[in-house]
């Protein structure tokens, strides 16, 4: 198959000033994407650094400051893309509400306002953004949602109730849009990272993040490490390739095998020790 090339493509990655979003933007640039819009909310310094790194890899960066949880700002972001480029080939929905907004709260504690704000950055964002992106896309467009699949089937991570539910709704929308846009040649898929360094997990209390790292390195992730943003970026490049043109409505787990493990049996009898 050879090296995947996305030359002459244009892409928009939300929440790409740092973390997983930055990792995605950099991998797209390395794969030959010509123009990359870097969406961010408030960290100008981090966004400028991503722009520098993107340019260093041969792509033309475009900084777009917008809160994706605000429909007007979200539509304005696409208007900026239309004015600058007039078209778009790749849309990656990655941005999330920050922990500072208070969404990290258990079911009996989270406020309705915190719940709504979280859903707006995920499900509402994806509904609106897909419709806006499609207006700029021709045949062979690619739409990708960065989700968290376990949030839709488990309930043990109690403070994740808003984000887990919102991500599950987003994954459902992926399937609906995959069907709706198939006749246009546009694929719509989701990527579910496992525990990942330099991500939302890094913003958790240090003792919590330490437990997460030790848990996965002990073998609950068969590859015995946390993921890194570049792992997710590589998966995005793969799903944006011409070779992935018949894959749509799917969720790709990028988790080092973590989703293949079962909590029913003790670790020593599940994996090689």
The whole-number pLDDT of residue 264 equals 87
List, in order of start, the domains of the chain with CATH numbers: 10-200+228-259 (3.40.50.720)
- pLDDT tens for residues 240-260? 999 999 999 999 999 999 999
The whole-number pLDDT of residue 18 equals 94
The whole-number pLDDT of residue 23 equals 97
Confidence check: pLDDT of 265 > 70: yes
Across the chain, mean pLDDT equals 93
For the entire predicted model, the pTM comes to: 0.94
- On whether the CB atoms of residues 146 and 126 are closer than 8 A, the answer is no
- pLDDT tens for residues 132-184? 999 999 999 999 999 988 888 899 889 899 999 999 999 999 999 999 999 99
The whole-number pLDDT of residue 70 equals 95
The whole-number pLDDT of residue 1 equals 45
List the single range of 6-15, 96-105, 118-127 with lowest mean pLDDT. Answer: 96-105
Q: Closest Cα to residue 24, out of 236, 227, 187, 171?
A: 236
The whole-number pLDDT of residue 268 equals 83
The whole-number pLDDT of residue 272 equals 61
Confidence check: pLDDT of 46 > 50: yes
């Amino acid at each position: 198959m050879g090296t995947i090339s996305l030359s002459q493509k244009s892409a928009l990655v939300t929440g790409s000033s740092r973390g997983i979003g930055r990792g995605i933007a950099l991998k797209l640039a390395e794969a030959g994407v010509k123009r990359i819009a870097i969406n961010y909310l408030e960290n100008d310094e981090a966004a400028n650094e991503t722009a520098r790194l993107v340019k260093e890899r041969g792509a033309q960066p475009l900084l777009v400051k917008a809160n994706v949880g605000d429909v007007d700002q979200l539509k304005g972001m696409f208007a900026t893309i239309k004015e600058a480029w007039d078209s778009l080939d790749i849309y990656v929905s990655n941005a999330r509400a920050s922990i500072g907004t208070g969404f990290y709260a258990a079911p009996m504690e989270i406020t309705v306002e915190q719940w709504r704000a979280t859903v707006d950055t995920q499900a509402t964002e994806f509904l609106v953004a897909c419709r806006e992106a499609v207006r700029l896309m021709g045949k062979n467009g690619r739409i990708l949602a960065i989700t968290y699949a376990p949030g839709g089937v488990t309930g043990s991570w109690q403070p994740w109730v808003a984000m887990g539910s919102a991500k599950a709704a987003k994954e459902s929308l992926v399937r609906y849009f995959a069907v709706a846009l198939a006749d246009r040649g546009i694929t719509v898929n989701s990527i579910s990272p496992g525990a990942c360094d330099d991500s939302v997990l890094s913003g958790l209390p240090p003792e919590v993040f330490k437990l997460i790292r030790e848990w996965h390195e002990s073998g609950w992730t068969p590859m015995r490490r946390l993921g890194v943003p570049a792992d997710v970026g590589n998966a995005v490049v793969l799903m944006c390739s011409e070779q992935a043109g018949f894959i749509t409505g799917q969720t790709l787990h990028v988790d080092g095998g973590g989703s293949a493990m079962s909590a029913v049996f003790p670790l020593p009898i599940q994996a090689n020790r």
